[in-house]
Amino acid sequence: MKIAKNSFYNIAGYLIPGVLSIPILGFMARDLGVEKFGLFTIILAIVGYASIFDIGITRSVIREIAIYKRNKDEILKILSTSAVIVVTLGIIAGFLITIFNTKISGFLNVSKFVTKDFLDSLAIVAFSIPLYLLTQVWCSLLEGREEFLKLNIYKTFSSTMVVVFPALALLIESSLSYAVMGLLVARFLSLLLIKLYCRDFSSNFKFYNDVFKRLISFGGWVAVSNFISPIMSYFDRFILANKMGASMVGFYTAPSEAISRISMLPSAVARTIFPMLSSGEDDSGKIKITSYILVLLFVIPVGCFCAYFSYDIMRLWLGNEYALKSYIIFQILILGFVFNSIAQIPFASIQSNGKSKTTAILHLCELLPYLLLLYFLINKYGLIGAAWAWTIRMFVDLLILYIIDNYKR
């Protein structure tokens, strides 16, 4: 079946770097120490948060290319306009990080012994944001055309570089800034690689106003979701650092990173069905049923296994210090992972129908209650409180998205 085949390609694209990341992150956590490793994961979050600066363009590109996939001239205009937008906004994002670097460091309660290393790292990561955003545009081309085999051959190499290069940099010098420099090199090489893969669609760096209007009509509301989603995904780390100090964040982000690694299958399924549902060429009901089955067959056994062996997983991966303080957090986040994995199916379904406004409004409504819950639970229960806040939000998100998707008509 098409979904299973394309989902397999998507999983394969994450499998090699996902497997590699397990020992490599373990090495980095031990080499950098708890505070620097926690800050490294926060820097990854900053790069992820930079997705707000594409104002929903990359998601729009997938949808537009799925619609115009037989019109090469239109595809070139879509790519050209999108590239102009994301590069411009990426440069602005990097500039803002550079200007406010000391305020970011102060908010995160970075210890004085690590401050210079962290500030140097922020300066480096500012350069990676335009590269990252531009790469996403070209990935959207392959995704919109449903060229998942080609896309995931690229992702295998790209994601492997993103995982391996920071660790290789630590072999030269054991510092946070060197790890981030490795990340920058990986992002640059990834951009060159995706351009090579998409050389048949080489476009000019030119802005087309009519294309921009189409992209923004859908992407505008996606941008709202893109602005809010990273806050709800990553703000737990920032509040923890602010309240408990950056030295404690690593105990939370370590199991959180583990969750992100095992989320590859549900993410693969969701990314597979989005262009299929957008094109309107397939039976949407059958696609969604198959997707739910694939996700449940993965998340239930994996969730049970990780929850039962959480202490052993943390100990073998990161050492006794992390295991003692992180295994309960891992158990709680696993539950949230199950909810979040299932929720990706109705989320993709709603957006594929052009209802990006619906998901954006949902995220707007969730934002304040989640931040208040997060703040309250962190103040009262610390690291465990943050894990419960995230998991509760995942359950609420799943419930509401499922209801909207099934009663949207």
DSSP conformation letters of 110-176: --TTTHHHHHHHHHHHHHHHHHHHHHHHHHHHHHHTT-HHHHHHHHHHHHHHHHHHHHHHHHH--SH
Structure tokens at 386: 């943050």
Q: Between the CA atoms of 231, 237, 243 and 244, what dihedral angle is there, to the nearest 10 degrees?
A: 180
* pLDDT-flagged residues of the chain (< 50): 278-279, 408-409
Residues 6+ apart with CB under 8 A from 147: none
Distance between start and end Cα atoms, the chain: 28
Q: For position 166, what pLDDT does the model report? A: 94
Angle between helices 246-262 and 284-308 (to 10 degrees): 130
Structure tokens at 190: 């990834």
Residues 6+ apart with CB under 8 A from 373: 389, 392, 393
Q: Between the CA atoms of 58, 64, 68 and 71, what dihedral angle is there, to the nearest 10 degrees?
A: -40
pTM beyond 0.85, yes or no: no
Residues 6+ apart with CB under 8 A from 72: 201
SS3 assignment, position 295: helix
Alpha-carbon span 203 to 80, nearest angstrom: 6
Provide the residue ranges of all domains of the chain, joining segments of one domain with +.
Answer: 2-407
Count Cα neighbours of 145 within 13 Å in the Cβ-side half-sphere: 18
Q: For position 234, what pLDDT does the model report? A: 75
Structure tokens at 195: 């351009």
Q: For position 393, what pLDDT does the model report? A: 92
Q: For position 12, what pLDDT does the model report? A: 59
Q: For position 118, what pLDDT does the model report? A: 92
Q: For position 383, what pLDDT does the model report? A: 92
Q: For position 406, what pLDDT does the model report? A: 78
Angle at 311 between CA 307 and CA 313, to 5 degrees: 80
Alpha-carbon span 352 to 280, nearest angstrom: 9
Residue 155 and residue 16 in contact, taking contact as beta carbons nearer than 8 Å: no
Q: For position 273, what pLDDT does the model report? A: 57
Q: For position 221, what pLDDT does the model report? A: 60
Burial readout 206-229 (b: 16 or more C-beta within 10 A, e: otherwise): eebeebbebbbebbbbbbbbbbbb
Residue 257 and residue 17 in contact, taking contact as beta carbons nearer than 8 Å: no
